[in-house]
Amino acid sequence: MEGLELKNLEKHYSGNEHPTIRQLSAKFKPGEFVVLVGPSGCGKSTVLRMIAGLVPVSHGAINLDGQDITNVESNLRNISMVFQNYALFPHMNVYENLAFGMRIRKEPARKIEKTVTDAAKILHLQDLLDKKPGALSGGQRQRVALGRAFVRKPKVILFDEPLSNLDAQLRIEMRQEILKFHEQCGAISIYVTHDQHEAMTMADRVVILNQGVACQTGTPEEVYNNPVDQFVAGFVGSLPMNFIHGRAILQEGRSFFQLGSYKIDLSHICTDYHLDCSKNFGGLILGVRPEDIYLDEHYSHAVAPSPKMAAQVKMVEYLGDSTIVHLEGDMGSFTSRFNKDLRVRKSEILNCVFDLKKLHLFTEEGNTLPD
Amino acid sequence: MSMRRLLVYVILIAGAVSFIYPFLWMGSISLRPISEFQDLGLFSENFTLANYQAVFDRIPIGRALINSCFIAGTVTCSVIFFSSLVGYSLAKLQFKGQGAIMAIVMISMMIPGQLTLIPLYQLIVYFGWADSYLGLIVPSLMSGLGILIFRQTFMTIPYELMEAARMEGASEFQILRKIFWPLAKPAIVTIGILTFMGSWNEVLWPMIVVHEKAMMTLPQMVVLFTKGGESGGQFGIEMAANMMLVLPIIISYCFFQKYFVEALASSGIKG
């Protein structure tokens, strides 16, 4: 198979009771930009380091273009890595940093010069070649780190949270630079981050990791719209999904989600098993994204509104492009994202509706309902 | 300037002068004729190099200087090289027995050198290295203090630099040579100066293993010259020999002083 394949990858660290990575399988196509995302400590950097050959694999295999590279030395894998703190050699100038690998591999001086000059041109580093990393800004260092990966012409480039040391504005700029760089390189890019926003905006595909397990793999749209479990649903999205714990009931041959006196008809989301879901799942968790909550008088025709519910405003966060409102009602506490023009005050009572077509249902264990 | 500050300056200057004056006087007396050796002043109208000439005439001090330079230079290079190898493996590699090796290094620093003189001498005789460079050099090829300073310095260098180099194909020795050594310049200079000074000033060990004049080191020769009677009790000549002993150390210290202070400050080790 062309590309990179991880087969049932496992990593056990001695002294740890549970494996850090469990049965991880994934395929990466040439030219693809895949983001491994998950909370801190979920094992995403370990996966990256196993692919790089910096950490030995406990079980499973890594194949690159059909060849098993599981036990191949890291320098023979044709894989480059951009480290979190850039790992630029502080005593060498930019030129020497870019040329380091080629000098180690004893490549001809003329080839080194040409490759470094070309890389410097692409990454706009021509004027910085004589400078040492200490004299560069964060963004410039980042570009040098990209350049060092680029000159190797690798089949796979690994990014280990490369933007985490930059300020918010520079992060946005560098995201674009990295994507441009990825297109120029044409390699498989595997990018690790704990920032789901970064993952959603950059990735062709996202792999969501939790406690060493790949929970879901898919395009950003897929993982956002069809999360496989409550963890993914809660992790993906710039504001976490609201979860409301209630129970399923059956009335007149239709199933409803009920919390106290409030009922939501579930026919929009589980038409395939109206009756069964009520029988099998006494307790249910209803998931609704903040952007799928509307004020009673403000929703459009495209929205399938739930029955109204009154909720009191607890806190308002004005973000400029939208307004985040934290509410509390009979359904408990939840957060909604409203239009930027909305002006509400603390303690005000709002009538809200959910878009029934966008609701998510989970079992009490946090899994999606079976088809 | 307040009186209090003035007083502080006077005390500090007096302290500094009390330290530096004997040394300056030694330099001065080494350049003056024998008739002025009771003059405690620093200046004279009769400065001469005759005392230095006399030292060269009476003992093979040139040879001793070469011996000392060779031995101290070799020991210094060796300590830097081997101690950095051990320091690197203790700081950055993981292997069984690492803790035990570190403990042995620490213990070796706690044992006074005098305690090991006799067994060491027996070993040297057993190997047939008495009266040879090997006898003077081999026992000092590595230093516990050097290992400790290198280990502490290398521990501050991020792992990512090693990993980046490893992914480019650098061997462990290339990583040490191309990345760790350049980044550990202050530590190298510190260990270099400490080792060079220690080796240069060593008298006891050469006295034990070397008896041939041609193999003697400079301090050994100077001690024998001044205390053994060859100087004929002439103060100026003795001072000239002493000056020849200390000058290389002072010159090298002045040259590397910046790194030396930097490394001692960062490693938290007091001289």
Contact criterion met (CB below 8 Å) for A37 and A51: no
* Residues 75 through 94 of chain A touching chain B, CB cutoff 8 Å: 75-76, 79-81, 83-85, 87, 89-91
Whether residue B183 and residue A79 make contact (CB cut-off 8 A), yes or no, is: no
Of residues B50 and A301, which shows the higher confidence score? B50
Specify the pLDDT at position B269.
Answer: 43
**Strand-pair partners of A52:** none
Specify the pLDDT at position A271.
Answer: 58
Whether residue A100 and residue B161 make contact (CB cut-off 8 A), yes or no, is: no
Contact criterion met (CB below 8 Å) for A47 and A211: no
Kindly list the residues from chain B whose CB atom is less than 8 angstroms away from the CB atom of residue A162. none
pLDDT one-digit tens code per residue, B94-108? 899 999 999 999 998
ipTM here: 0.81
Q: Which residues, given as ranges, of chain A have pLDDT below 50?
A: 274-275
Residues 6 or more apart whose CB falls under 8 angstroms from that of A213 comprise: A22, A23, A24
Whether residue B163 and residue A81 make contact (CB cut-off 8 A), yes or no, is: yes
Residue in chain B lying closest to A86 (CA): B160
Best B167, B171, B172 residue to mutate vs chain A (most A CBs within 10 Å): B167
pLDDT one-digit tens code per residue, B178-213? 999 999 988 898 899 889 989 988 989 999 999 888
Contact criterion met (CB below 8 Å) for A157 and A120: no
Whether residue A87 and residue B163 make contact (CB cut-off 8 A), yes or no, is: yes
The band of B148, judged by pLDDT with boundaries at 50, 70 and 90, is very high
* Residues 36 through 55 of chain A touching chain B, CB cutoff 8 Å: 52-54
Whether residue B170 and residue A104 make contact (CB cut-off 8 A), yes or no, is: yes
* pLDDT exceeds cutoff 60 at B270: no
Strand pairing of A4-11 and A21-28?
antiparallel
- Compute the Cα dihedral for B216, B220, B225, B227 and give only its sign: negative
Question: Chain B closest CA to A335's CA: distance in Å?
Answer: 41
If we measure between CA atoms, which residue out of A361, A189, A176, A160 comes closest to residue A280?
A361
If we measure between CA atoms, which residue out of A296, A311, A295, A297 comes closest to residue A347?
A311
Specify the pLDDT at position B238.
Answer: 85
- Candidates B158, B169, B183; nearest CB to A104: B169
The band of B160, judged by pLDDT with boundaries at 50, 70 and 90, is very high
